[in-house]
Structures are given as C-alpha cells and as structure tokens.
Amino acid sequence: MADSLNADGLNTGGAETAPSVDYRALFENAPGLHLVIDRHFTIVAASDAYLSATMTVRRAIVGRHLFDVFPDDPADPAATGVGNLRASLERVLKFRQPDPMAVQRYSIRRPDSEGGGFEERYWSPLNLPILDAGGEVRWIIHRVEDVTQLVGQQPVDAFQQLTNEQQAIIDRLRSINRSLDREILDRKAAQQELSQARQFLNLVIENIPGMVYAKDATTLRFILMNKGGEQILGYSREEMIGKTDYDFLPKVEADAYTRRDLEVLASGELLVIPEEEIVNRAGEKRFIETKKMAVYDPRGRPEFLLCLSEDISARRDLEQQLRQSQRLDAIGRLTGGMAHDFNNLLGVITANLDFLIEKVEGDEEATSFAQDALDGALRGHELVKRMLAFGRQQPLQPEVFSLNDAVTGMKGLLRRTIREDIEMSVIPAVRLSPVVADKSQLENAILNLAINSAHAMPNGGKLILETENVRLDDDYAAQNLDVRPGDYAMLAVSDTGAGMAPEVIDRAFEPFFTTKPVGAGSGLGLSMVYGFVKQSGGHIKIYSELGHGTTIRLYLPAVMQDAAPADAVSAALEERRPATGTVLVVEDEENLRRAACKMLKSLGYTVFETASGPEALTYLRSGGRADLLFSDVVMPGGMTGLELADIVRGTWPRLKILLTSGYSEVLVRESSERLDDGIHLIGKPYRKHELATKIRELLEAG
C-alpha cells in the first residue's frame, strides 16, 4: 500500500511500483468541460470536451488571451458575459479562493464552416485557483457546464448524445496512444518538458471539482485519487491507494462495482451512470453521476480504468424544484382554462336566474328555489375567482403601498376572524421598502394564511405577522429556481400549530389539496396565495416541521428608494475581512449544511460539520475544538438546537452560540425559557455578509 504521492501523482510507497500515468491523456480526455488559464488570462490547456462544447480547436486557442477567443457578441448591447467572467477571475487572483458564478448567458462564436456569427449559450461556471509553493495563484481552472438545454427546457436525446461521446473519446484516446512515440523526437529535451507537464496536470486533476480516480486495469486497485474524491467519500488517498472496492464495501456491492469495471475494460466503451446513491464514511447519502472509460497503452491494451464522478446532490434538488414548478405551472394552466370556461357558464346561469326571479315575483316558493340556485351560482363564482388566482389569470390592480400599512390595517379584521384563545401580534419592520402589488389581493392572502394558522391551532397558540427588508442574492436564487435576485419586502406569517410533514409541503400549493376534513375547506386558500405572489413577480416559501409550527414567507419585489451605496460597500468589505476561528456547524438538512460550510470556509473559518445535536456533543466531548456553535433550531432525532445550546452553555460556557431558523425569531425565543442574550439568532435565508457580521460580532465580543 502506498504512503505518499510523487510530483506525477503516482504511488511511490510499498514494494510494488505503479505504472506511469499519462496525465496529458487523462486531462484532455476527462469527460468534463475544463479550461486552464494563467494569471494573465492566457489559455494554456483545454479538455476535449470543452473544445467540443465551445466549437474551438486546441491549436487555435492555446497561447491566446481568453477574451480574444471568447468575446461578447458585438451585436448584443446587453451582453455581460465578458464583464462577469473577468470580475470572477480577478476575485480568484485577489482572494485565492474558488469563485462560483451564477448561470451566465455567454454567446459563443460559430466557426465559419458553421455559418459564422454567435450562438446563444447558458453556462454554469466555477473558477478555481491552483497555487504555487509561495501561495500565489499560478493557474486558474475554469470549469463550466453547458446548461442551455436546461434553461430552455428543451428535450435532449441523451442516449444518442452519450453514444457519440463514447465513440469520440475512444477514438481520440487510441489516436493519442498510437502517436505518443512519434511526438517525442528529442528524448532528453522532452523528458524535462514531460515532467513539467505531468506536474502541471497533476495540479489540474487535483483541483478539478468532483472525484477523479484511476484503477489498475489488471488488479482494479486504486492508483490515483484526487482531493475531490477524498471530500466525497470521506477517506484519505493514503487509505485508498493500493486497495480495492472489497476493502471498503460489502461483498455484494463490491461484486457489482467489479463486474461493471470489467465490462468497461472488455468493451472499451464509455459507461455513463447518470445517478447512483452512495453512502460515505460519515454515513451521509450522496448522489453522484459517474463516467468510466478504459485508457490504453501504445499497443492498444487496457492499462487504466479512468473514472470521473460528480456530486449531483444539489443539482438533483434543483431538478426536483424544476419538476415541481413545471407541475404547478401545468396544473395552473389547466385550472385557469377550466375556470375561464366555467366562469362563462356561470355568467349564463346567473343572468337567467336573475330573469327568472323577476318572472316569478309574487310566487314565494318559486322565488325561494330560484334565489337558492342563484346563491349557489354566486358561491361558484367565488370559487372560480380563486381558481383564476392560482392560474395567475386574475385581473390585478397593482399600486404602490407599504406592507406595514396593509398588515396593521388588518389587525382588527384578523382579531375578529380568529378565536380568542389565539394570541396575535404584529411586528412591522422599520423603514420597510414599499411594494407594487394588488393591495386587496394581498389582504385576501393574509386573511387566508391567518385562517389556515388558526385551523392548525385547535387548542390555541400564537399567530405572528412580521415584515422585513430582504435581499435574495445569487446564492439563494441558485437554490430556488423561481427567484430573481434582488430586493424584496418580506411578510412572514408564523404559528405554533401542528406543522406540516415534508410530503404535505410538497403539495401544499396544489389546488384542491387539503388535509382538513371533508367540508372544512376548498383546498384553494394556499393555491390562491401562491398564484397571487407569482403573478406579482414574487416568491413564497414554507418552513415547517411536524410538532414545531409553520412559517410562510411572502417576498414581494421592493420599490427601491434612495439607496445608500455605503451599505453595499460595507457588506462587500465585511465579506473580504480576513477571519480566524473554528465554527462547529449543526444542520440536519445536507444541502443547507453544505451551503453553510462553503460560506464559512470562504470567509476564512475552519469548519467542522455534524448532522445532529448528539453528533455535535460527541465531537466536543472527544476534545474537538470550536470557538462558535452554529446550529439549526428545529432538527429531528430527539434534540433541538435550543436543547443543544442549553447543554453547551452549561458544559462549555466560553463557547459562543449562534442559532438559525426559518421560523419567526419571536416564536423561537418564546419557545424556550432558557434562551437569553447569551444565545443569538439569525433568520433563514441569511446572506454571506450578514453571517460574516454576526459571527464576527460574537467572536470579537470576547
């Protein structure tokens, strides 16, 4: 078994010497879109997949400036691709940290053979620094994913596409290996160049996002594992090099992986596994997409099995959001169309009933029958209005107003509507930005939410309405596909009721879906609220767990008044200030935990992550170091964040505590008598500079 890696990324420990790895072939043929540039933005290397996606050839772009090869479309005055990418690369140079970018519209120049001009594309980029021994940026890996089809929601013939990619990669690998000897004319001069290239490509492979590993074709023992693989699997490369799947997996699983590897080596075809579930060393479930291919020696015999796996857990969640959004849109179109036709029918019915009532005037029995029918038709009309609201086809009368005024103006109506055993409070924000929306529809939405909350508290409880200025940034928008980054005025309606199960939250906005008894509700209340918010260009989010109440947040686009540029500058400076210290993160939702850890690491903190309160206590009791505990409030498993904070305060009194929750801060504070000024709160969603400011305040307070 190996105990170290040399400059070529090869195993040098143990009794056996691993065969030499052709890193140039590994990098150029790796099934991912990767470009390497130097600190002056000159292109130095590109994978074949990147060349294919951008319709370029290696000899035409290597050695040229990035933005000479990929300029903005001169015919598009709104193009921002070059400016956004340059800003990201400059941040990488300045802060020596990875810089993920939101989805970018960046048109690509077509070759003359394809008709010339520019082709509109959408990309999901990530820029990663490769540092030299002195800690300075030497190269930058520009990794992108072409998401044009996802943005356009166009179907893709995936099978044919993968088949073509397989054959193209295999042909290129064979061509490279056949011509390898011919390319090296002067052995002595080429040896130094080859060594430098191997060192360079080793750094590239080490920093490629995702897991890159290779196995010996004969023994199927691991001979290479990059940093991404260590992070996904939880094992160090020293633990894996020289071992097989049987050393880490149950025999049944290891047998399945071995059969698949042997099939790839025997067939010579690229194997693409779109999605498979794995469990890492810590017991966490991850979803990965894997590509496996054979790498051949100059005589055409399989030498290595090369594998590239990408953690698609976050992407899988986004795809689920997209499917849910598409489902709601489809239901909305169907519901709106039906409601429109039904409205026409009701118009005929009510008109004729009005005439009929006039005709039978004086006949009390006939008039009573006709009036009952008319009342039923009018109730049907109200039902249709709610259906049209969900389908976003209701006529709106937008105006500029303050959410504070709307909410405080409804206090009397709400107080008369809900029962006396429910305590209601309204907490308006200071200097809340105005919004543009239909005020009457907003009032209907508030009334619906309050009534739903009252039904969830049959034995009484608390109802809280809060407003706040919120900025939803690119990071939040990347995790919520229906959100446009920007400034919003937010209204939160919170209750201490029974809460919702995850499967109920997934369907809560669907029309006619209800958990109430038959006859207790139409199932259109939340649907109407959803349709109104979407039609107004806003966003709606539910935070709820069984037994812990519910918070529903409505975000309406803010009408910006005279903004203070200093606020934005201050926020940016706060993110850039160097940070020191160790943060223990406790969050049961894997995606939220991963996002929080990524944010904290980018700020400069050392981070340890756990999925529950008991795991955090085990870490601390084993001597684990932490300066601050950052924990969610509501977590399954028998211990809440409040209970964890109580234990930590009693055992480690010097440890700072910051809790986070999507629920109302008032409800969180009032839910525990133990919560005092020593335990602090930050609401979800929080922005990077807000988290930076809060943690810095706590740590610097001493």
Q: What is the mean pLDDT of residues 300-309?
A: 90
pLDDT 10s digits, 515-527: 665 545 555 667 7
Q: What is the mean pLDDT of residues 363-382?
A: 76
Q: Which pLDDT band holds residue 390 (cuts at 50, 70, 90)?
A: very low
Indicate if the pLDDT at residue 563 is higher than 50.
no
Report percent pLDDT > 90 for the chain: 23
Report the alpha-carbon distance of residue 58 to residue 35 in Å, rounded.
Answer: 11
pLDDT of 199 reads 78
Enter the DSSP assignment of 481.
Answer: T
Task: Provide the residue type at 284 as one letter.
Answer: E
Q: Which residues, in sequence order, are CB contacts of 495 under 8 Å at separation 6+? A: 453, 454, 456, 457, 461, 462, 463, 464, 549, 550, 551
pLDDT of 419 reads 86
**Helix (H, G, I), strand (E, B), or coil: what is residue 392?**
coil
pLDDT of 525 reads 66
Fold of 570-700: Rossmann fold (3.40.50)
Q: Which pLDDT band holds residue 505 (cuts at 50, 70, 90)?
A: confident
Class of domain 396-563: alpha beta
Query: What does the radius of gyration of the chain's CA atoms come to, in whole angstroms?
Result: 30
Topology alike, domains 396-563 and 570-700: no
Pick 41 or 574 by higher pLDDT. 41
Q: Which pLDDT band holds residue 293 (cuts at 50, 70, 90)?
A: very high
pLDDT 10s digits, 225-264: 998 888 888 888 899 999 999 998 888 888 989 999 999 9
Q: Which residues of 62-75 are buried (b: 16+ CB within 10 A; e: fewer)?
A: eeeebeebbebbee
Helix (H), strand (E) at residue 32: none
Report the alpha-carbon distance of residue 331 to residue 530 in Å, rounded.
Answer: 13
Q: How far is CA 341 from CA 140, 289, 294, 351, 386, in A?
A: 58, 46, 60, 16, 14
Q: Where is average pLDDT lowest: 3-12, 297-306, 619-628?
A: 3-12
pLDDT of 16 reads 45
pLDDT of 545 reads 82
pLDDT 10s digits, 82-115: 999 999 999 999 988 888 887 788 999 999 888 8
Residue ranges per domain, the chain? 31-154, 206-311, 320-393, 396-563, 570-700
pLDDT of 95 reads 86
Report the alpha-carbon distance of residue 434 to residue 403 in Å, rounded.
Answer: 7
pLDDT of 38 reads 95
Say if CB 666 and CB 423 are below 8 A apart.
Answer: no
The vertex-613 CA angle with 612 and 619, nearest 5°, equals 95
Report the alpha-carbon distance of residue 550 to residue 634 in Å, rounded.
Answer: 11
Indicate if the pLDDT at residue 383 is higher than 90.
no
pLDDT of 409 reads 86
Q: Where is average pLDDT lowest: 320-334, 395-409, 547-561?
A: 320-334
Average pLDDT along the chain: 78
Indicate if the pLDDT at residue 590 is higher than 90.
no
Phi/psi class of residue 637: alpha, beta or left (left: φ > 0; alpha: ψ in -120 to 50)? left
Indicate if the pLDDT at residue 63 is higher than 90.
yes
Pick 266 or 522 by higher pLDDT. 266
Q: Which pLDDT band holds residue 65 (cuts at 50, 70, 90)?
A: very high
Report the alpha-carbon distance of residue 658 to residue 330 in Å, rounded.
Answer: 41
Q: What is the mean pLDDT of residues 60-70?
A: 95
pLDDT 10s digits, 392-448: 445 567 788 999 998 988 888 888 888 888 999 999 998 999 998 888 788 888 888
Q: Which pLDDT band holds residue 57 (cuts at 50, 70, 90)?
A: very high
Q: Where is average pLDDT lowest: 148-162, 590-604, 630-644?
A: 148-162
Q: Of 481, 401, 479, give the one whose Cα is nearest residue 441.
A: 401
pLDDT of 167 reads 42
Q: What is the mean pLDDT of residues 555-583?
A: 63
Indicate if the pLDDT at residue 303 is higher than 80.
yes
Q: Which pLDDT band holds residue 177 (cuts at 50, 70, 90)?
A: very low
Say if CB 66 and CB 187 are below 8 A apart.
Answer: no
Q: Which pLDDT band holds residue 8 (cuts at 50, 70, 90)?
A: very low
Task: Provide the residue type at 559 as one letter.
Answer: V
Q: Which residues, in sequence order, are CB contacts of 450 under 8 Å at separation 6+? A: 414, 417, 418, 463, 465, 493
Indicate if the pLDDT at residue 566 is higher than 90.
no
pLDDT of 86 reads 94
Model confidence, pTM: 0.45
Report the alpha-carbon distance of residue 638 to residue 301 in Å, rounded.
Answer: 56
Token digits of residue 677:
């000024």
Four-way CATH pick for 31-154: 3.40.640.10, 3.40.50.150, 3.20.20.70, 3.30.450.20: 3.30.450.20
pLDDT of 527 reads 74
Q: Where is average pLDDT lowest: 195-209, 253-267, 367-381, 662-676?
A: 662-676
Indicate if the pLDDT at residue 363 is higher than 60.
yes
pLDDT 10s digits, 66-82: 999 999 999 988 888 99
Q: Which residues, in sequence order, are CB contacts of 160 under 8 Å at separation 6+? A: none
Q: What is the mean pLDDT of residues 316-335?
A: 59
Four-way CATH pick for 206-311: 3.40.47.10, 3.40.640.10, 3.40.50.150, 3.30.450.20: 3.30.450.20
